[in-house]
Structure 1
Amino acid sequence: MRRKSVLYLDVADQIKADIMNGTYPVGSLLPTEAELEQLFDVSKITVRRAIELLSSEELVEKKSGKGTTVLSNRPYNKLSKAGTFTEYLNDSGQKVAKKILNLEKVTVRPDSPVYQCLGEEVVKVSRLYTLDNQPYIYFNYFLPNSLADVSLEEFENESLYRLMDQNGIEIVKFEDSFQTVELTTEQQRILDTSEKNGLKRVRKSMSPLGKVVEYSEAVYNTVLYPYVIEYEA
């Protein structure tokens, strides 16, 4: 159900979209309150409530006399106190690349955990991450059918969560579970390894109503590099 239009929410949504698309890069200042009033043709209180909302999501920080600074361009920044693993790898000097292996609509079996979360018809995206040109993480994302019209090019060029956000899919909670698994022959082939075991991460992303809007499985060849979680203090 779409929410009724509320002016300060609409203003916050547009500023957030401009942060996400790079109009206001991380570290830059937003226009002044007076400039935002003119830009959106709204009152000062509307602008202030919009900025307060973005600040509560930890996307911006307002300081008296200095203006409002963009802190993050992650769609679900408040959920992401732990830096993403790919960010950690990039910051560590590793060369990380990704490519889409397959994008398709699939019918899942009733005994599948995907079926329990998302139903029978889903969008499946298979993606491979390489580390210094070596296959490292094999992802399978299972997503709502509402993303069926998103193109392969969009999945290749944009982050998954930004695409979901752009398509009106709101996430309020992530649930991750990890286990050591025996790699299948197919997983060994894709990861180009003869290792018997790998680390499997299952993620469920939840909507405000508690509905699963993403079910994903990632298999890591941790012999190549260990899995690391880096938290902000």
Structure 2
Amino acid sequence: MVAKPRRYQLIYESLKHQLTGGVYPKGSLLPSENELSTQFQTSRMTVRQALSELVREGYIERQHGRGSVVRSERQALGLLSFRGFSEVVSTNHLVQTKFLEPPALRDWPAVFFYELTTAERALNCLSLSRIRYADNEPVMLEYTWVPNIGVDAILTGELLDGSLFRTLHSQYQLDIRNMEQWLRATSATNAQAELLGCASATPLIYIERRYLTNLPNIHVYSQLYCHTDRYAISDSK
């Protein structure tokens, strides 16, 4: 038996249809919560749930003292591109990075999410754990492992323009050529929620990546946890 949509979901779908159909142009205001409550013959709490979904998907923005302001389109970050976060996101947003802990040389994790090559197993790895920001909003937790082909100087130096990929290219002649990636939905743990500034169990997009490089049998690996409440993710190149 298929469950009937909840009342707020019907309101959300109705407003979303109007937004995508151009009924409310960019910069305009949706009717107030009171007006929507009257229009849909429901409570303000139910209306507020519907509006929260539209905010989460990037169709509107709630502004104190004004109400629900319509955006031109859902804003997205090109996080599915194989180019680095700094290069992709900095085109339209202020990019910042915070290290959760200093970069370190480590043995590969005993249980790893990819099968390492023989060449990689013969090396230890450079491990980086970072929070990535777009316009001061934490949008991604990124955990990266680089085979130590002599990249240990990164331990004592800053990344070029804040970009790992630019540093690898410029200083170590290690170029990212392409990538393989797998995505699935997950929920924020308490620790992840605190770092991303969201509620525990908030939906996240989890991505596993293996970056293909110009060196045979040498890859860069990443695990990403993307918070999509404000920005969607896209494959913009």
- For 2:104, the equivalent position in structure 1 comes to 104
Structure 1: gaps spanning 5 or more residues:
1-79
How many residue pairs match? The answer is: 151
Summarize deviations over 1:102-152 as a string: whole Å, max 9, x none. Answer: 211222333222573543721111121123322111111101122122235
Q: How far apart are 1:167 and its partner, in Å?
A: 0.7
Question: Structure 1 vs Structure 2: percent identity of aligned residues?
Answer: 19
Aligned-partner residue type, residue 100 of structure 2? L
Asked if the contact 1:89/1:96 (under 8 Å) is kept, the reply is yes
Q: 1:221 to 1:104 in 2, by over 3 A?
A: same
Please list, as runs of the form range in 1=range in 2, the aligned pairs for 1:1-233 lying within 5 A after superposition: 89-92=89-92, 94-102=93-101, 103-113=103-113, 116=116, 118-119=120-121, 121-145=124-148, 146-155=150-159, 157-165=161-169, 166-196=171-201, 197-208=203-214, 210-231=216-237
In 1, Cα distance between equivalents of 2:112 and 2:226: 21
The structure whose Rg is larger is 2
In 1, Cα distance between equivalents of 2:97 and 2:193: 18
Q: TM-score, normalised by structure 1?
A: 0.54
Alignment root-mean-square deviation, CA: 3.0
In 2, Cα distance between equivalents of 1:150 and 1:182: 32
1:186 alignment partner, SS class: helix
In 1, Cα distance between equivalents of 2:81 and 2:234: 14
Q: TM-score, normalised by structure 2?
A: 0.53
Aligned-partner residue type, residue 159 of structure 1? S
Asked if the contact 1:206/1:213 (under 8 Å) is kept, the reply is yes
- For 2:44, the equivalent position in structure 1 comes to none
Asked if the contact 2:104/2:155 (under 8 Å) is kept, the reply is no
In 2, Cα distance between equivalents of 1:107 and 1:100: 19
Structure 2: gaps spanning 5 or more residues:
1-79
Q: 1:159 to 1:96 in 2, by over 3 A?
A: closer
Asked if the contact 2:133/2:140 (under 8 Å) is kept, the reply is yes
In 2, Cα distance between equivalents of 1:82 and 1:144: 18
Aligned-partner residue type, residue 126 of structure 1? S
Summarize deviations over 1:28-76 as a string: whole Å, max 9, x none. Answer: xxxxxxxxxxxxxxxxxxxxxxxxxxxxxxxxxxxxxxxxxxxxxxxxx
Asked if the contact 2:82/2:178 (under 8 Å) is kept, the reply is no
Q: 1:115 to 1:81 in 2, by over 3 A?
A: closer
Q: 1:229 to 1:156 in 2, by over 3 A?
A: same
